[in-house]
Structure 1
């Protein structure tokens, strides 16, 4: 890859303009004013003034911290990465100032942990690191990426189990729908067991979760339909709040 450095101030200004434009465009799509967006951030527990939002959108703000990004994105009901990289097929993005141009879709993969970014460091460092150092860091990066993917998959499976259980219980007995979701639920539970074991082997602790209150009739229905082991506990669970 071509090793090209752009002035850091230019890189920062470009990223801030892209994010500011994305916030403004999202507001337009939702049909809300900056004042309404500000009220939404207040409701989320992290107030951001209308004036600050206007400065961010106009590019006059010198920076944007990660907390503001999370809250503004939540108030706009989109993921934060969509504000950072709003033009997915734009080929003019540099992930860091010294990186080559690439599509924003690739930058999104790097930012979300779906693509290892060690190649960027290699390209700009040249021969600063030895081959053994590069291999070691690449191996550690791949291991961390693998754990991240597993944790995300584990959480997706929990959501699937909750959804399938709810759908199964919502279909009348004998309608065929309950059998369909019971089969999907069994598959999800097997996947849950597999991923949980992999995470345990990697030494990754699973998030603590509290059991949902389940009526005896509901518990019996779940178990009779497909012999569930995990769904009774995972259905509609929420993380424990230790605050």
Structure 2
């Protein structure tokens, strides 16, 4: 009898392999041209290996996923969850089904998986953690940068009206507050003041 982990690995590999094949064909690449693109990115993946991945080769590595995504010009999350945003993922993790949207949000650091099932079978909704908070704040900070291109203009620059000067100061304060909060969450997440994982 096959164990759950082996079954899960096989299904994940089939889903990713199918996505690689579909994307490769959609952009008109042969397996050899995809292999060439991977080599150009500095990580050779042989044509026969690509064919094996497309056919569901179990347990390919994360590096291959990232290089293939770059070579195929697609976010890695969409190779993992090609039905995003509407597909329901069976066995996102062994014993846990989720929507592809929830899966991509989890992968992107925007949310935790929606629930845990306790030993007694009760469902416990998971609350945010520093990693999720970082993802949310970074997105908000990026939106602020995109929506207010004058963020880093000197507010004392001649030719600016008082309203623009005030907006620059206000948005800059907000950006710096977001930066500080991100640094605090990184320290909580990794247990360091530098905000990186200890070796």
Distance 1:79 1:193 in 2: 29
Q: From 166, 180, 186, give the equivalent of 1:197.
A: 180
Structure 1: 5+ residue runs without aligned partners? Answer: 1-5, 128-133, 169-178, 208-243
- Structure 1 residues 142-157: aligned runs within 5 Å: 142-154=129-141, 156=142
| Partner in structure 1 of residue 31 of structure 2 | 34
Cα 1:188–1:57 shift into 2, 3 Å: farther
Query: Could you report, residue by residue, the CA deviation over 1:166-185 in whole angstroms, capped at 9, with x for unpaired residues?
Result: xx9xxxxxxxxxx9xx89x9
The answer on whether the counterparts of 1:160 and 1:188 sit within 8 Å (CA) in structure 2 is no
| Partner in structure 2 of residue 53 of structure 1 | 50
TM-score by length of 1: 0.59
Cα 1:37–1:189 shift into 2, 3 Å: farther
The answer to whether structure 1 residue 97 and structure 2 residue 94 are counterparts is yes
Q: From 77, 80, 83, give the equivalent of 2:79.
A: 83
Query: Could you report, residue by residue, the CA deviation over 1:187-239 in whole angstroms, capped at 9, with x for unpaired residues?
Result: 754442231232345465789xxxxxxxxxxxxxxxxxxxxxxxxxxxxxxxx
**SS of residue in 2 equivalent to 1:48:** coil
Q: From 4, 25, 31, give the equivalent of 1:7.
A: 4
Question: Which structure has the larger Rg over C-alpha atoms?
Answer: 1
Distance 2:33 2:171 in 1: 41
TM-score by length of 2: 0.70
Moved >4 Å (runs of 4+): 200-207
Cα 1:142–1:203 shift into 2, 3 Å: closer
Cα 1:94–1:192 shift into 2, 3 Å: same
Choose between structure 1 and 2: higher strand proportion: 2
| Partner in structure 2 of residue 126 of structure 1 | 119
The answer on whether the counterparts of 1:91 and 1:102 sit within 8 Å (CA) in structure 2 is yes
Distance 2:106 2:13 in 1: 18
| Partner in structure 1 of residue 14 of structure 2 | 17
- Structure 1 residues 83-232: aligned runs within 5 Å: 83-88=79-84, 89-99=86-96, 101-117=97-113, 119-120=115-116, 123=117, 125-126=118-119, 142-154=129-141, 156=142, 160=146, 164=149, 186=168, 189-202=172-185, 204=187
How many corresponding residue pairs? Answer: 174
Cα 1:87–1:69 shift into 2, 3 Å: same
